[in-house]
Amino acid sequence: MQRRDFLLGSAALAAAGVLGMPSARAQAPVTLSFWHAMSGALGERVTQVCDTFNASQAGVRVEPVFKGSYVETMTAAVAAFRAGRAPHLVQVFEVGTGSMLGAGPAVRQVWQLAQETGVRLDPAAYVPAVRGYYSLPDGRMASMPFNSSTPIAWINASLFERAGLDPAKPPATWEETATAAQVLKAKAGAKVPLTTAWPSWVLMENYGAIHDLPYATKDNGFEGLGAELVCNAPAYVKQIQRILDLAKEGLFVYGGRGASGDQLFPAGDCGISFNSSAARAGFARDAKFPFRAAMLPYDPSVKAQPNNSIIGGASLWAMTAPNRTPAEYAAAATFLAALAEPKADAKWAEVTGYVPGTNAGGQELTAQGYFARTPDAEIAVRQLARGTVTVNSKGLRLGRLPEIRSILEEELEAALQGRQSAQGALDATVTRGNKVLREFEASMRG
């Protein structure tokens, strides 16, 4: 008995200590907690953005907190919400959008925030390919684009020259890419003629967007939770078969899942690597050879005029908590609006290597002569602006997309090992992926 009382007593004490903290919060200015997943140099840039905002006005103080990787940050936000202590703003990676949209009362979508607070947060200010990923089908924005990139091709200029290829005329189609890979191997002795980071995002999801092919039913999931994968259609099979053929000839070298492929390009014996446009800063630091950016290749027999690619990166979500005041939501909206200012957006793109999210931010960079100085930075912007955004090229709105990506990469690995055909790999992806989608749907319907 005695012991039990003692335990209860200490538990109560500990709880009081934790719960007692918020009451000590200062009256003014309104303090916003902003959880983000930007480590290292990018994390410093986030702090700078917040400092600039804090210095520009007196009413709101934003406090950025680094919470680990994208996955860790999202898990932390979910756990915090369950404990009634969600941050005001949280940075969520693009593939988490489906889950956040399903979070209902846990989040205040951007359009609600604008409506309730009267702060102007205009979707039209954003580049269509960027805002589309984070918008509802009717165009209302759910979250605020923050850091956006898109996959492009990175070209080793010195290997190209050694192979007798012109780095200023990079291969535009898949056929030209295959030929270039052959020449790179034969004439320049490239150990890795062609590779990619983020296999699912680059080789499949963006392939679908560029060629205007549906990836899943219900407009890639934008129209409802009942979406089913259709990424085993003939055009996708052709794409994977092409990768398998290139791999068999030693022209495509598999670099691993997710970001594992990052390491191959800076090592110097890789001719072409597909990777995020945001990889530029890292390559500039690590690569000891001249390199250039080019657009992702396309297949003219699937679509004569390639479309825009889709983005990767993250957006900012406003979260709810019990006792959160209207003043706090208004402060969050003010901060989001400040981030969308052309000068702030241009500055952010320039110091991080992400693409400018707003149209005006891009114009600002052009006016400053930034793209003239660093033409590589403009490749991603141009690729995102190419063609008109369709239901197939605005992104994927699928629950548990990270898991679907893992499944695809697992099946691709089995195909690269020669254990199954391209069709078999994609059929298995669709079957296993749909099971994941149904589980997500069931969890959302409660």
Partner 1 sequence: MSERRTVFAGSALPVLLVAPQVLLTAVFFLWPAARAVQASLERGDAFGLSVRFVGLANFADLFADPLYIAAIWRTLFFCGAVSLISMGTALLLALCADAVVRGRVFYRTALIWPYAVAPVVSAAVWLLMLHPQVGWLTPALERLGIAWNYRLDDAQAMLLVILASAWKQVSYNFIFFLAALQAIPTSLVEAARMDGAGPVRRFLTILFPLLAPTTGFLLSVNIAYSAFETFGTIEALTRGGPGQATETLMMKVYRDGVVNLDLGASSAQSVVLMAGTMGLVALQVLMMRRRRDVA
Q: ∠ CA(108), CA(110), CA(111), 5° rounding?
A: 105
CB of 37 to partner 1, least distance (A): 14
* Binds partner 1 by CB under 8 A, chosen from 175, 228, 403, 427: 403
Question: Within positions 81 to 140, which residues make up the interface with partner 1, using CB under 8 A?
Answer: 81-82, 99, 102-106
Stretch that binds partner 1, among 26-34, 76-84, 217-225, 308-316 (CB under 8 A): 76-84
Quick one: 263 or 366, whose CB is closer to partner 1? 263
Whole-number Å distance between alpha carbons of 395 and 403: 16
The phi, psi pair for 368, rounded to 5°, reads -75, -5
CB of 262 to partner 1, least distance (A): 11
CB of 68 to partner 1, least distance (A): 11
* Binds partner 1 by CB under 8 A, chosen from 165, 411, 422, 429: 411
Stretch that binds partner 1, among 26-34, 212-220, 238-246, 408-416 (CB under 8 A): 408-416
441 sits near partner 1 (criterion: CB under 8 A): no
- The burial class, CB within 10 Å (0-12 / 13-18 / 19+), for 420 is middle
Q: ∠ CA(169), CA(174), CA(177), 5° rounding?
A: 45
The phi, psi pair for 385, rounded to 5°, reads -90, -5
Q: Pattern of binders to partner 1 over 150-189, x per CB under 8 A?
A: ----------------------------------------
* Binds partner 1 by CB under 8 A, chosen from 115, 182, 406, 434: 406
* Binds partner 1 by CB under 8 A, chosen from 409, 426, 429, 433: 409
The phi, psi pair for 173, rounded to 5°, reads -105, 170
Using an 8 Å Cβ cutoff, are 196 and 275 in contact? yes
H-assigned helices in 102-248: 110-117, 128-131, 157-162, 174-188, 199, 206-210, 217-220, 234-248
Whole-number Å distance between alpha carbons of 211 and 74: 31
Q: Pattern of binders to partner 1 over 361-390, x per CB under 8 A?
A: ------------------------------
Lookup result for tokens 């898109």 = 150
* Binds partner 1 by CB under 8 A, chosen from 39, 52, 57, 443: 443
Whole-number Å distance between alpha carbons of 311 and 385: 11
Using an 8 Å Cβ cutoff, are 310 and 70 in contact? no
* Binds partner 1 by CB under 8 A, chosen from 39, 57, 75, 388: 75
445 sits near partner 1 (criterion: CB under 8 A): yes
Whole-number Å distance between alpha carbons of 425 and 290: 37
H-assigned helices in 70-225: 70-82, 97-101, 110-117, 128-131, 157-162, 174-188, 199, 206-210, 217-220
446 sits near partner 1 (criterion: CB under 8 A): yes
* Binds partner 1 by CB under 8 A, chosen from 29, 123, 167, 258: 258
Q: ∠ CA(180), CA(186), CA(192), 5° rounding?
A: 70
Count of residues near partner 1 by CB under 8 A: 50
219 sits near partner 1 (criterion: CB under 8 A): no
Question: Within positions 2 to 21, which residues make up the interface with partner 1, using CB under 8 A?
Answer: 2-3, 6-7, 10
Query: From the centroid of its chain, how far is CA 209?
Result: 15
Quick one: 74 or 210, whose CB is closer to partner 1? 74
Quick one: 7 or 41, whose CB is closer to partner 1? 7
Q: Which amino acid is at 131?
A: R
CB of 5 to partner 1, least distance (A): 10
Q: ∠ CA(213), CA(219), CA(223), 5° rounding?
A: 175
CB of 59 to partner 1, least distance (A): 30
78 sits near partner 1 (criterion: CB under 8 A): yes
Lookup result for tokens 């102007």 = 120
CB of 15 to partner 1, least distance (A): 12
Structure tokens at 110: 């951007």
Stretch that binds partner 1, among 173-181, 261-269, 271-279, 298-306 (CB under 8 A): 261-269
417 sits near partner 1 (criterion: CB under 8 A): yes
* Contact residues for partner 1, defined by CB under 8 A: 2-3, 6-7, 10, 71-72, 74-75, 78, 81-82, 99, 102-106, 191-192, 253-258, 260, 263-264, 267, 269, 400, 402-403, 406, 409-411, 413-414, 416-417, 419, 436, 439, 442-446
